[in-house]
A and B are shown apart, each in its own frame.
Chain A
Amino acid sequence: MNTGIDTNGGSDVEDETTMDLQGAAAIVQHTRERARHELEVNYPLLYLAWGLTLLICYGVLWLSVRTQHPYHGLLRTGVGGVIALVGFFSLVIRLGVVGRAMTGVGGHSARQWAIFFAALAAGSTVLFIQAAAVSHAGASRPVTGVLIAAAPMLSLGLVFLASSAVGLNWFSLALGLWLLGVAAVGMWTGPVTILAVYALAGGGGFLLTAAIQSWRRRS
């Protein structure tokens, strides 16, 4: 059953060298460590990138509206800057953190990651559309502002919560619950303070998770 392998260029001499027991054990250990380092997603780095994304993006938005009295909405420059930052960090996360480990990997895991990112994008998009529809129906600017700010946080929380069921990942479960809690509490603080709450508590949740996972990896 040798289908699939291109035999062109397969003229090298095969290495059938035998090895002693210590040599075999060393190969197993070294190869296992290298494979794990190369093929496993670096979750502390992933959570760190998520945390910085939330901290910086919500922080920039908060800085752009904090002096508004009364509140008249997110500034275009602030929104534009945030979209650029989200795009940049998404690229870093997708290619730098997940992509590095998933290069050449197919099957179950690759499909899981694709669905995860698609769910996140779809969830946020629908919630943004909902905010636009509510605004179109006559909702005030503060109400629309709260809905727009909550959209990514709600989407992140729900996706992390749902994805925790796939591999019974307790970190994802705790983080998903935390993000939903932050989303809910933040909505009561108004269209300006909500951005600071999401930056600190949302971003902070990811950064804390990154620190815990990093500590667990080392110990």
Chain B
Amino acid sequence: MSDDGLDPVIHVPARLRIVVTLAALHDGDTLSFARLRDLIGLTPGNLITHLRKLEDIEYVTTEKTGAGPTAQTSVMLTHTGRAALDHYTTVLRQLLDTASHANHDARPNPRGER
């Protein structure tokens, strides 16, 4: 965890988009590499790199079926990954609330100015 409590693996734009996209699927569903790439808008190379990082900490699993030109890779968000995203969004919401209150408190009081 980073100092602010946000998961540093997810707290990267590309990986956040990957995890949120996969979380939109029902539990146990997989998404093909090609469709994920189209939805996220990353190059294949970039997507592979980010998926590897997510695989290393078991947030996603990938499975390759078939061989040659018909080979297909599918990606699935694990329970660990789903829980990590839930925790990430909860912490993010709390941090935004805290920041919002801090800004509100820091604003000069109009009565005090008179």
A105 and B25 within 8 A (CB)? yes
**Does A138 reach chain B (CB closer than 8 Å)?**
no
Q: Would you call B35 and A17 a contact (CB within 8 A)?
A: no
> CB of B52 within 8 A of chain A?
yes
Q: How far is the CA of A36 from the CA of B23 in the complex (A)?
A: 10
Q: Is the CB of A39 within 8 A of B25?
A: yes
Contact with A15, one of B13, B31, B52 (Cβ below 8 angstroms): B13
Find out whether the CB atom of B31 lies under 8 angstroms from the CB atom of A105: yes
Specify which of A5, A18, A34, A103 is in contact with B12 (CB 8 Å cutoff). Answer: A18
Q: Is B80 an interface residue (CB 8 A)?
A: no
Question: CB distance B35 to A27 under 8 Å?
Answer: no
Q: Which chain A residues lie closer than 8 Å to B39 at the CB level?
A: 34-35, 38-39
Of A2, A14, A34, most B-chain CB atoms within 10 Å = A14
CB-based contact A106/B30 at 8 Å: yes
Residues of A within 8 A of B31 (CB): 39, 104-106
CB distance from A106 to the nearest CB of B (A): 4
Shortest distance from the beta carbon of A155 to any chain B beta carbon, whole Å: 26
Add 13 more A-B contacts to A5-B48, A5-B52, A14-B46 (CB < 8 A): A1-B55, A3-B63, A7-B48, A15-B13, A17-B13, A18-B12, A25-B93, A28-B20, A32-B20, A34-B39, A36-B24, A104-B36, A107-B30
Chain A residues at the B interface, C-beta cutoff of 8 Å: 1-7, 9-19, 21-25, 27-28, 31-32, 34-36, 38-40, 103-110
- List chain B positions with a Cβ less than 8 A from chain A: 6, 11-14, 16-17, 20-21, 23-36, 39, 43-46, 48-52, 55-56, 58, 61-64, 71, 73-74, 76, 89, 92-93, 95-96, 99
Question: Could you write out 18 A-B pairs with CB less than 8 Å apart?
Answer: A1-B55, A6-B73, A9-B45, A10-B44, A12-B49, A15-B12, A15-B14, A23-B13, A24-B92, A25-B93, A25-B96, A28-B92, A40-B24, A105-B29, A105-B32, A107-B29, A107-B30, A108-B28
**Top 4 A-B residue pairs of the complex, sorted by shortest distance between their CB atoms:** A104-B35, A12-B45, A35-B24, A104-B32
